[in-house]
Amino acid sequence: MNDSVAIVTTEYAHFETELRLESGRRLGPLTIAYECYGQLNADRSNAILVAQAWTGDAHAAGRHHEDDRKPGWWDNMIGPGKVLDTDRYFIISSNVIGSCKGSTGPTSTNPTTGRPYRLNFPVVMVRDMVRAQKLLIERLGIDKLLSVVGGSMGAMQALEWGILYPEQVRSIVPIAGTGRTSPMAISLNALARQAIYNDPLYKKGNYRPEHPPADGFALARAVGHISFLSDASMDLKFSRRFSRMDGMFDFFGKFEVERYLDYNGNSFVDRFDANSFLYLAKALDLYDVAWRFDSLEEALSNLVCPSLWFAFSSDWLYPPSQPEEVVEELQRQKKPVAYHLIESDYGHDSFLVEPEKFIPLLKEFLDGL
């Protein structure tokens, strides 16, 4: 059996409507980039929405052309015979608003000025992202999603779907997520912000795309990337090896882990926009499932569908205690909830690096629907 979804094309849905944001501002017209894999069945009951992490995009599986060296970011999960089986399910992956990967964001043209929004783009919350996704799902003619599955920021979107639209979601699967962003996670994003702000090329967000604040942006990415890893995974991959390019007693010499962070940060600058990075970081910082509710208890009372939660033992960005707080409240309310703590040394990125550790549990859950 061929396990690839083969060649795929990113599509774009345009909406003339204005979306009322949680801030009170309105955003429109809207464009949402998305990809679909598999076929929608006759009664349109087999649709699963895959929600992206922080700097992801709509390209979750397959390749864009024959010479494309890198498949979509969750290609090991989506395809014929895989856990998100495109012979059974219709998989939708959309890019969130606020991004720079095809959906409306800071790099998009502001219809009022005819120039890019840049910092005139309104602050968006995860809840706003989900409301924009709802427009896309309606455009596709889907009344009810079989499931919403996502890791990290995608887990937050999955939870929001279950709370905002309880009659239109049959299940949610939050992976490596949290019910509210912790002060530690916010502080790491604060360091990343300052790295970008302090780059002289940032120019209060008015930099030219061809001259981005590359040094500050690369440092910001490095700060974020460290939070995705763990002590064990870094020791396994790099140990204390010194770079072969440098002498140990060269004052500016670097360890291999430093070289890795440099490479990762610099390559990221070439494929993402600094303002979009900052807007999405702000959305993460603002996330609290109890926003506009009186309490966590009240917010979760709206969640009626079965939910399957995964946390990872070495995740220190969103440690197991955070999703467990949500799970315990759902259990107290006698909601249909299952939770699994997965042992992994790969930190927050475990859901991308070792999906085989939770795939059987996810398959069993989806089969049970």
Is 152 catalytic? The answer is: yes
Taking a C-beta distance cutoff of 8 angstroms, is the pair 145, 47 a contact? yes
Is 64 catalytic? The answer is: no
**Could you say which of 199, 348, 349, 350 is catalytic?**
348
- Segments of the chain assigned E as strands: 11-15, 19-20, 26-27, 30-37, 47-51, 78-79, 84-85, 90-94, 147-151, 172-175, 307-312, 337-342
**Could you say which of 199, 288, 315, 345 is catalytic?**
315
**Could you say which of 99, 152, 230, 314 is catalytic?**
152
Structural element, H or E, at residue 321: helix 321-332
User: How far, in Å, CA of 237 to CA of 256, rounded?
Assistant: 9
User: How far, in Å, CA of 189 to CA of 175, rounded?
Assistant: 21
Burial 106-144 (b: 16+ CB within 10 A, else e): bbbeeeeeeebbbeebbebbbbbbbbbbbbbbeebebee
User: How far, in Å, CA of 356 to CA of 250, rounded?
Assistant: 42
**How would you classify the pairing of strands 47-51 and 90-94?**
parallel
Q: CA 342, 347, 350, 353 torsion: positive or negative? A: negative
- Catalytic amino acids? 152, 315, 348
